[in-house]
Structures are given as C-alpha cells and as structure tokens.
Amino acid sequence: MSIPMETIISQSSAVSSQRSEISDETLADCGFYWREKNGVKVLICRPLEDAGFANGFSTRLGGVSDFPKDALNLSGLDIDSTENVAENRRRFLDVIGGDFQIATSRQTHGADVRIVKNIEEANDGNRKFDALTSDLKNILVGVKTADCVPVLLGDTKTESFAAVHAGWRGTVNSIVVKTIEKMRETYGTNPKDLVCAIGAAATGKNYEVGRDVIDAFERNFSTCGNLFRATREGHALVDLHLANEEQLTGVGVAPENIFTAPFCTIERTDLFFSYRVESKLYGKTGRLLSVIGLD
C-alpha cells in the first residue's frame, strides 16, 4: 500500500550532527517523564496524568518488529504482521496500565475529527479521520505518527479528551483548532480548561520543506514568519511544534497548560521512528502511537 506522504524534503545536511541528550530534570521541567517496563519505554505527560488522564507517547523500544529489530511498531500499514502489531500494542498498554481499549482511525493528513461514542465505534479503525475525541471510560483515543506532530488534549472540567495527528497539512488546516471546536460543540469544552501535551516530532532544527509548504503557511498563518528559517533557495526549516502551540493559545488555551516534548524524531532515531530518515535506509519505518483516556 502506498503511504500518503507530505511534500517534504529532508536533507541529511539539515540534520544536526550532535544528538541532543535530554536529562530527566530537563524532561521534568517540560512536563514529562519516562515510564519503562520490560524494555518498553513510554513518555508520559505528568500534568495530564495529574488531571486524571491516562496518556502516553510511545517510542520504538521494546517491541517485536524488524524496523530493523526489536521495534515497537504500533500500526500495520501493510508493512508488518498483524501478530507483531497486536503484541506490540499489548506491551504498550501494559506500560500505560489500566483496562483500556485503543481507538484509532485511518489517517489521511486531513482535518476531520471523529467522535468515539461507544465501544463498537472504538473497534472500527478504518474510518478516515486525523483526530479523535471521546469522554468514554476504558477508551484510549490514539494517533499514529513518524515525524508528524501528535497532540493530546484533556478537558479538566468535562473530562472529555482528544488525540490529534498534525502533519503540515493538518497544521495548515488548523486541525487542533477544529478538534477543540468539536469538543466545545459535543461536550461544552472551554479552551481555558484544557491541558495539552505535544509529543516528539520532526522539529524546526531538521524539518526542511519546499516552496509549496511555505506558500500554504503564508496563506493560512498571519505569523508564519516565526515558523520558518531559510536554508537554501526555495526551502526552509519549519517549526510545527511552535505552529501548533500558537494555534492552541490563539483559541484560548493557557500557555502554562501546554507541554511540549523536547525531542526531534529526525534527530533521535534511537528513540523514535522517522519516515524521512528510515524510508531511505530501510524502505519502510514503523509508527509511534500517542494515546489519552480517562484514568
């Protein structure tokens, strides 16, 4: 199956030659900590957890898939066996804890938001959406990434929650804003009550894009000058973490309630999958999973 890709140019020369090592203290200052069990390592947003939301951003560590080995691939995409993905998800859920079922969708780099209303809907992972929201117990809504930005939202008043897949197309089309609007319409969410976690993604240090992406942001972002750093003719590095942070604060989310993981997937392929790096090396890459639900 052809994997839908964004028009991204990732040059090896753009990738930082020095891998950024993040101490536990620095990670804690950003609002995150590591949870590990049987070789599986998951990044947890502590403020979301303290607000009552089970959550986790997976890494590539501790699985059974050959990407190239012992990888925690959490989505099939016709490049892994059903058995491998099932075992990897079992291991991932074992670290998250609780009695949860994961609800996902087929992601298309769009901006549509799916409401998960019951267990039957949670079982259907073939519907085409790039964000999911729910308020059900025992359900984790999740999005799959391998360079795109995962965003988790928890409403401390209504106890609704959402997971968002924000590639550059989703970001340009304001998918986090549309998700919050869907939560407002469905559950009565006030953005001031949201706690938001933004996971590891290709960052402004290494994420080079072409003229078509730059033009799309210029049409849709009044502050797009903050998001780009020119590299060569017709190309620039784009900061999708910052773009999504600005969209969140723009609709009323308190800046102090937004927590961003200090990792670049392009740079840290020891921890995370990166399509732009690994598709060139192996012809394929796995998928990370970012989830949230009521604890």
User: Strand ranges (DSSP E) for the chain?
Assistant: 32-37, 40-45, 53-58, 61-65, 71, 101-103, 113-115, 131-134, 139-145, 149-155, 161-166, 194-198, 208-209, 228-230, 236-238, 258-260, 288-294
The number of folded domains in the chain is 1
86: helix, coil or strand?
helix
User: Quick check: 52 pLDDT over 70?
Assistant: yes
Query: How large a percentage of the chain has pLDDT more than 70?
Result: 93
Residue 11: what pLDDT? 40
118 within domain boundaries: yes
4 within domain boundaries: no
127 within domain boundaries: yes
147 within domain boundaries: yes
- Two structure tokens written together for 15: 């990738």
Phi-psi sector, 141: left (phi>0), alpha (psi -120 to 50), beta: beta
State the chain's mean pLDDT as an integer: 92
Residue 282: what pLDDT? 83
**Domain that residue 102 falls in:** 12-294
257 within domain boundaries: yes
- Two structure tokens written together for 157: 């008043």
2 within domain boundaries: no
pTM of the model: 0.93
Residue 123: what pLDDT? 85
Q: Do the Cβ atoms of 287 and 273 come closer than 8 Å?
A: yes
Read off the pLDDT of residues 99-134 as tens digits, 9 standing for 90 and up.
999 999 999 999 999 999 998 888 888 889 999 999
CA–CA separation, 206 and 237 (whole Å): 6
1 within domain boundaries: no
Instruction: Specify burial of residue 184 (Cβ count, 10 A radius: 0-12, 13-18, 19+).
Output: middle
6 within domain boundaries: no
pLDDT band at 8 (very low <50, low <70, confident <90, very high): very low
Q: Do the Cβ atoms of 152 and 55 come closer than 8 Å?
A: yes
We report the CATH number of the domain holding residue 134 as 3.60.140.10
